[in-house]
Structure 1
Amino acid sequence: MNGAGAQPHPAPGARAWIGAIRAKTLGASLCPVAMGAGLAWHDGAFAWIPVVAALAGAGLLQVASNLANDLFDGLRGTDSGARIGPVRAVASGAISARAMAVALALVLAAAAVPAAWLSMHAGAWFAVIGVAGAVSAVAYTAGPMPLAYVGLGDLFVFAFFGPVAVAGTRAACDGTWSGEAAFLGIAPGAIGMCLLATNNLRDRVGDAESGKRTLIVRCGERFGRALIATCHAAAIAVPVATWAAWQLPAGAMAASAVAAGFVPVSVAVLRGRDGTALNRTLAGFGAMLYAYGVAFAAGLVLTPGAGDAS
């Protein structure tokens, strides 16, 4: 997923790598892991090592996806000088394609470590998730039919940074796969889609010209703005619905309150915010992901009667 802040010139060295991994968007992997960990705590199943492994795996797969995006969009010429988003490392020459490919391979290899540990200690499904996540991260912008180029990037983001990440973190702690956790995963998946849809709304003209048929290029600007508002509403509603359906402690609705506090971000999109001004919207949704995950987990941990950490 694309970053929130524009850079006026290619950044050398460490700054170029920080830009390439798109650090401002990494809440997309932190948020669902925090939610799954909070749910495990509530259930009396929390364990530090599995949660750290889940966070490492999710974070590394997101970094891999971001590096692959930079690399393959740069090679395809999608990230042209006319783009209005942040400067991309390969397209700008700040990082060579060879160096980016090596970094991508190293990150994918690193991601295999927590996936292997989880598959040995919490079940073979984690090997399946790890392989599927790695393939999807690269296939997002690579191969004969890149997900982002055929309008399927949103599905990847929603699934892997939503239900899969929340339910997977919960299962990592004691092997329990929970429908409640998967349902809760709709929320971070939806916020991740807000982030991606905002990026694609900003870049829709250039994407269309370069043949990148994102969901917003396919369905139009009005659809994209409505999608962002709908996903934001879902993030507000999910904890409330889970409280009603599964008797989740009311403290979890702190996440709903946080999401409601970011409503002005979506309102600006509905009112027509466009172009480089959408970088502020991206920053808003990036902050919302961090705050949402922390609020949900803290709400459960601080609720009287929550489970003890193991």
Structure 2
Amino acid sequence: MSDTATEHSRREAWLMAARPHTLPAAAAPVIVGVGLAVHEGVFAALPALAAFVGAALIQIGTNFANDYYDAVKGVDTDEREGFTRVTQSGLIAPESVKRAMYATFALAILVGVYLVYVGGLPILVIGLASVVSGVAYAGGPYPLGSHGLGDLFVFVFFGVVAVMGTFYVQAASAAAGAFPTGIPEGTVTLAAFVASLPVAAISTNILVVNNVRDLETDREAGKKTLAVLVGYTASRAEFVGLLALSYVVPVWFWLARGYSPAVLLPLATIPYAAAIARTMLTDTSGAALNPALERTGKLLAAHSVLFALGLVI
């Protein structure tokens, strides 16, 4: 193989490890947090951009961690039906993936220094907790994803914390000086919490699809995801319930908070969501659920963009 072909293959392998198809889970909370900030008149471009970069780095770092730890612990095998894992398949050496994981989290912490300058002590605590949880998702003495806590981790950190954190750093940059030690008034609101729920719900559903697809191989490997613990029926009910939550929230903003009917724009994605749900309710094969996984990521992006637009209008 030529040097050029080898380098091309190496780049492709690192792209597979980073899993760019999961990045909507990093962008979506920032999009919604910015939409709410514009509505509230506290939009700040630089904190919002830093929030996105930090979220994307934590997402990629978590992907590296999952790839590395699932391989070295024997969770990933040749029977797995999901996307190629570079450590398990031998495309990249385990130590290289491990180093990339730590380097990516280090970059996230570096970006976080600016966010801490803007948001103060609350962002320091949230940022460190996010990085630690990203490693603990698949690694450490008690991997969250292997003990039924992966869904909760995604819901909290890639949904609630990410949206509220994005709104917080923008509002804090306008309401306080550098490094506030407390929580400035107007930076943590009910509206920000409720706005985070659709992102939290659909981001979690990405994991639900993944875990339903891998249920049998995870069970054989001893990985106790929530899907393994509760089975197919309850996992499907979780998926549908989280979808329902993501569509109830825009209605709440319209009826309970008096927002413009434009906030109902995400409802336009219901037919697309229903098609994904039909697949989830009727199939467990990788051939069906791998495309459903990608479509759930696209649903997250579309719902978030439309919701943010509705909040702005």
Matched, 1:268 2:265: no
Distance 1:245 1:260, change over 3 A: farther
Moved over 6 A (4+): none
Matched, 1:210 2:221: yes
Q: Deviation at 1:194? A: 1.0
Q: Deviation at 1:260? A: 4.6
SS of the residue corresponding to residue 256 of structure 2 reads helix
State the distance in 1 between where 2:311 and 2:282 align.
35
Q: Deviation at 1:300? A: 2.8
Is the Cα contact below 8 Å between 1:170 and 1:178 reproduced in 2? no
Instruction: Summarize the alignment of residues 72-221 of structure 1 with structure 2, pairs less than 5 Å apart.
Output: 72-175=69-172, 176-221=187-232
Q: Deviation at 1:259? A: 4.2
- % identical equivalent positions: 38
Using the size of structure 1 for normalisation, the TM-score is 0.91
Q: Deviation at 1:298? A: 2.1
Unaligned runs of 5+ in 1: 1-10, 304-310
Q: 1:308 is matched with which residue?
A: none
Question: Which AA in structure 2 matches 1:198?
Answer: V
State the distance in 2 between where 1:42 and 1:296 align.
12
State the distance in 2 between where 1:230 and 1:83 align.
27
Aligned pair partner of 2:39 in 42, 67, 84 = 42
State the distance in 1 between where 2:284 and 2:262 align.
34
SS of the residue corresponding to residue 77 of structure 1 reads coil
Using the size of structure 2 for normalisation, the TM-score is 0.90
Residue by residue, what CA displacement relative to the aligned partner does 1:101-122 show, whole Å, maximum 9, x if unpaired? 1111111111012221111112
Unaligned runs of 5+ in 2: 1-7, 173-186
State the distance in 2 between where 1:263 and 1:291 align.
14
Residue by residue, what CA displacement relative to the aligned partner does 1:25-78 show, whole Å, maximum 9, x if unpaired? 111111111001000001111010010011111111111111000010011111
Question: Which AA in structure 2 matches 1:249?
Answer: S
Distance 1:63 1:103, change over 3 A: same
Matched, 1:241 2:258: no
Is the Cα contact below 8 Å between 1:85 and 1:202 reproduced in 2? yes
Question: Which AA in structure 2 matches 1:202?
Answer: R
Is the Cα contact below 8 Å between 1:28 and 1:161 reproduced in 2? yes
Question: Which AA in structure 1 matches 2:194?
Answer: F
Aligned pair partner of 1:54 in 51, 69, 79 = 51
State the distance in 2 between where 1:202 and 1:257 align.
27
State the distance in 1 between where 2:170 and 2:126 align.
16
Q: Deviation at 1:159? A: 0.4
Is the Cα contact below 8 Å between 1:259 and 1:288 reproduced in 2? no
State the distance in 1 between where 2:89 and 2:66 align.
14
State the distance in 1 between where 2:120 and 2:17 align.
33
SS of the residue corresponding to residue 78 of structure 1 reads coil
Is the Cα contact below 8 Å between 1:167 and 1:181 reproduced in 2? yes
Aligned pair partner of 2:289 in 259, 278, 283 = 278
Residue by residue, what CA displacement relative to the aligned partner does 1:250-282 show, whole Å, maximum 9, x if unpaired? 222212322453211112212335332111110
State the distance in 1 between where 2:270 and 2:188 align.
26
Is the Cα contact below 8 Å between 2:18 and 2:60 reproduced in 1? yes
Q: Deviation at 1:82? A: 1.0
Matched, 1:68 2:39: no
Is the Cα contact below 8 Å between 2:60 and 2:104 reproduced in 1? yes
More helix as a share of residues: 2
The aligned length equals 292
Is the Cα contact below 8 Å between 2:283 and 2:289 reproduced in 1? no
State the distance in 2 between where 1:134 and 1:113 align.
12
Question: Which AA in structure 2 matches 1:179?
Answer: L
State the distance in 2 between where 1:28 and 1:300 align.
19
Q: Deviation at 1:236? A: 1.2
Q: 1:253 is matched with which residue?
A: 264
Coordinate RMSD, CA, aligned: 1.4
Is the Cα contact below 8 Å between 2:266 and 2:304 reproduced in 1? yes
Is the Cα contact below 8 Å between 2:17 and 2:63 reproduced in 1? yes
Q: 1:3 is matched with which residue?
A: none
